[in-house]
Amino acid sequence: MTARFETRSVLITGAGSGIGRAAARLFASEGARVLAVDVSDSVEETASGHDRIVALRGDAGSETDVSAMIAAAVKRHGSLDVVCANAGVSGGFAGLFEQTAEEWEALLRVNLIGPFLAIKHGAKAMLEGGGPGAIICTASVAGLRAGAGGPAYSASKAGVINLVQTAAQQLTGSGIRVNAVCPGLVETGMTQQIYELARAKGREALIGQLNPLRRGGEPIEIARAIAFLASDEASYVNGHALVVDAGLSTSHPFAKPRGIGETTF
């Protein structure tokens, strides 16, 4: 495999599992020096056995932590070339009348303020380093339209999509590209409840039935899209939300809407 990221410094948040872990290992396999960050100590497992990955504990929704992780990447690797703002939380499946303002605030802190902080501090480090750079934020098909997530989660991901568009404009002339990836249903810790419930009911074969490929996705499939957006192959892609969902969002799959007070399952 061509080492697309040889000598490049990459920072990934939410790297303790799922898409973040897959992305960290993919970048490392292609020559990058990776700082893998997660609030959980599971990030140590991501780095285990990979000499190009260094694990760091940190909260992607804390400005103090984000500033420190960016500084750590620059100090360790001498520069910062790629930032993947991947950390996120689902907020569960509560409906509009079931969530509190405090629950919204907690979710937005990670899902939307987190990417903002990654862009703010990551772009500053890239500018100070004098080189171009790439920032990729993990959004979701839930940010495109209703039906793929709860209200708070969907709103947060819609915000991420607009954030990368706005940031790309704000960074005009800098050579820094800012894009998003919008995964569909992928088996990660965030979607574990869905997969486990389907398996318990003997309905695993129905997972992903609403998309044309009739299956759920794997973290590595999203990681490949992230790596593309970070690479020179995407040198003319900026302010874009790349949808990776097996075609789910090409239509409006029908499902009976929940009534007030009804639960998802």
Number of Cβ within a 10 Å radius of residue 3? 11
Cα within 13 Å of Cα(150), Cβ side: 22
Q: Rounded to the nearest 5°, which phi and psi values hold at 50?
A: -120, 105
DSSP 232: G
Q: Which of 153, 163, 222, 245 is catalytic?
A: 153
Active site residue 236: no
- Packing angle between helix 18-29 and helix 219-230, nearest 10 degrees? 50
First-last CA distance in the chain: 44
- What's the CA gap between 184 and 216, in Å, rounded? 8
Q: Rounded to whole angstroms, how far apart are CA atoms 151 and 160?
A: 14
Beta strands 53-57; 33-38: pairing state: parallel
Residues labelled as active-site residues: 153
